[in-house]
Amino acid sequence: RVPAGTRQAEIVAPTSAGYLLEQSGEDRVTAQSDGTTLVERSYLLRPQQEGALSLGGFTITAEVIAPDARDPFDRLGQSGFADTMLSDFFGRSPLSGGGFGSVFAPTRTVTTTSDPVSLTVLPTPTGASGWALPAQAVELHETWQPDPPMLRVGEAVTRKVQVVALGAHPEQIPDLTMPEVPGARVYYEGSDKKSVPTEHGTAAMREFTWSIVPTSGGTITLPELGVDWFDTGTEAPARATLAAESYHVEGPVAEAPAQSAAAVAPAVAPDVATPADENWMTTGLIAGCGLVALALGLVAAMALRARRNGTKPQPAAGPALVAAARRKAALARARRAARHGDAAGTRGAALDWIRWAGLTPDTVAARFPALGAALYGLEAAAFGRTDTNPDLRGLVAALRAADRNLRRGARRGTALPPLYPATT
């Protein structure tokens, strides 16, 4: 709290080898009814050792108008028109702490220090030599480039997974490894670390990037990813996960590698001649011609039958059908998770549905207000902003209503309703 007439002030945090202090968010400045100003600043404390910890005091240095300072413009003379006009003008200035001359009044330097604080730092939850991620909350999210991903054989897509830990330091987030994916090659591109401000305080974020190149058409499944952490609220181990997900890949299906002829052919002594050695070329040509003739006959028969029946080859499923199938699968996962009271699983499935609907958590409320409100309520309960239990059934009901809306729009041949009304 700084007094009226303060010109400038600086807050200096204590330093020590036993801890690190990092400012969290911006200063909160509030004018008080007694003329003083309340300045609030939050810090994130990171102890570097266990046991007793003494946190030194914070020091504030301010330039304050001297209480007995004389108005420097008093020497301009007695009260008159010019003096009154200048006093009225500068007296209304926010820099004025008293009369007209207070803007230019001499100041004095005031320094004060808060009392030190003694704390006790508990040992690492997993042991003195173990690794731990103590945090208030941990979540895993993913983004794609392009989003939603359209997987095709031989074409790379980028998957980014963010690990967000509230109340932790980026260096505490462990490495995240994606296991091998059958039907695709996975290339790790690295990770980025940073601290991000949130409405609940400073959070650590580490973003991992992979390039995924499908090698076969059909379906590939990305395995579950998870991070073990220690919940500082419940003082118990926990695990945050990103559920396994299957994706459709467009393109030819790769054949299984065939065994080499050397592996399947019977061993023959090199110095022993066989009867087939002398006419192998003639036999091979006859067999090859027979196979070609058989293949041509089958193709002609299939074409004739298709012409008689009036059938046409069916086209492959397009992006819209793939997205609809992924939304249906996400909705089914959300229903299962809600039945078991799994809030994290329900939220993850809802976010997958939103992604396959071509939306984001920030824009879904504009298109589907009920779904946006249900998702916000779930997040508020997860981060302890409310004392009520999350309404998982309500979230699933909102998801089903939004999905019906999308399917009706698809049958009418229309896209999603515009986020903003068209202007003329």
On whether the CB atoms of residues 172 and 14 are closer than 8 A, the answer is: no
Give percent of the chain above pLDDT 70.
67
Whether the per-residue pLDDT at 364 is higher than 60: the answer is yes
Q: What is the average pLDDT value for the chain, to the nearest integer?
A: 75
Buried b (16+ CB within 10 A) or exposed e, 118-146: eeeeeeebeeeeeebbbbbbbbbebebee
Residue 136, pLDDT score: 93
Average confidence (pLDDT) over 152-167: 92
pTM of the model: 0.43
Structure tokens, 215: 């090698």
Q: Are 87 and 21 in contact (CB under 8 A)?
A: no
Residue 318, pLDDT score: 53
- pLDDT tens for 186-229 read 999 899 998 888 888 888 999 999 999 999 999 999 999 999 99
Strands 245-250 and 151-152: parallel
Q: What confidence category does residue 400 fall into, taking pLDDT thresholds of 50, 70 and 90?
A: very high
Positive or negative: CA dihedral 351, 354, 355, 360: negative
Amino acid 169: pLDDT: 84
Please give the average per-residue pLDDT across 39-47, as a whole number.
81
Angle CA(238)–CA(242)–CA(243) in degrees, nearest 5?
110
pLDDT score recorded for residue 274? 44
Q: Which of 280, 289, 396 is nearest to 342 (CA)?
A: 396
| Pairing between β-strand 225-231 and β-strand 236-242 as defined by DSSP bridges | antiparallel
> Quick one: average pLDDT of 103-118?
81
Of 49-53, 131-135, 384-388, 396-400, give the lowest mean pLDDT range. Answer: 384-388
What is the residue extent of each domain of the chain?
6-121, 130-253, 316-424
Over the stretch 67-87, which tens digit does the pLDDT of each residue have?
Answer: 665 655 555 555 544 555 444
The third-level CATH classification (topology) of the domain covering 130-253 is Immunoglobulin-like (2.60.40)
Q: How many CB atoms lie within 10 A of CB 208?
A: 22
Q: For residue 273, what pLDDT band results from cuts at 50, 70 and 90?
A: very low
Confidence at residue 255, expressed as pLDDT on a 0 to 100 scale = 67
